[in-house]
Structure 1
Amino acid sequence: MPTFNVFVSIKKEDVPDNFLTEASAFIAKLLGKPESYVTVRVVPDQMMCHGGSTEPCGSVQLMSLGSLGPKNKDHSAEIGKFLEEKLKIKKDRFYITFFDIARNDCGYSGTTFA
């Protein structure tokens, strides 16, 4: 159930057309999860300030059932590189918050993963 939420100050038209599908494949590979469970949400045109500056910036959340924790430093490096390349937002212009969700705290298809 990886969910990759990307809130950015850049305009919708500056998000590449294939960003959603590329991000979906990227997160699946990064976490070793089936892409059929990955959700990607991009919220552009956000009024944001980071470090006292309104230069392009963002706020990123990655939620998953497992695959997080000790590997977050590596995940952060890979996500930073990916977003800097694809969205042209410098990796020091966003934070990434990781959420390792308990199986009973995630509903899907009328039940939970517990």
Structure 2
Amino acid sequence: MALFGRKDNQIENGFEELIIEGEVIESTHSLVKNRAALTSMRVIFEERSSLNEMGISFIVSIPYSKINSIALEYKGFTSTNRLIILSGGKEYKIMFSTLEDVLRFYRLLSTYIL
């Protein structure tokens, strides 16, 4: 599935393939190697395993009601570009392109889960 190698105006169309009836894409965000989306019902992003030798990635979809917590990663007093989502005992680390991107995503995601 080639959702994450497209130009910005094509990204939402890629996510459109994944959403269900009544769901709306609220925002898309740049990650280091791909994209993430916040919809009216869930967060969607691509996960690549470091143990994955075949280069296969997975599209992760987490309903807001299943997110236990979110955290910004810090080194010393400075935030990194990484956000951590905890859901169902699994930790997802999402690396954003810039600090501004991760902070924007964190604020928006917070409004959905709080």
Q: Above 0.5 in TM-score?
A: no
More helix by share: 1
Structure with more relative contact order (C-alpha pairs < 8 Å, separation 6 or more):
1
More strand by share: 2
TM value normalised by structure 2: 0.29
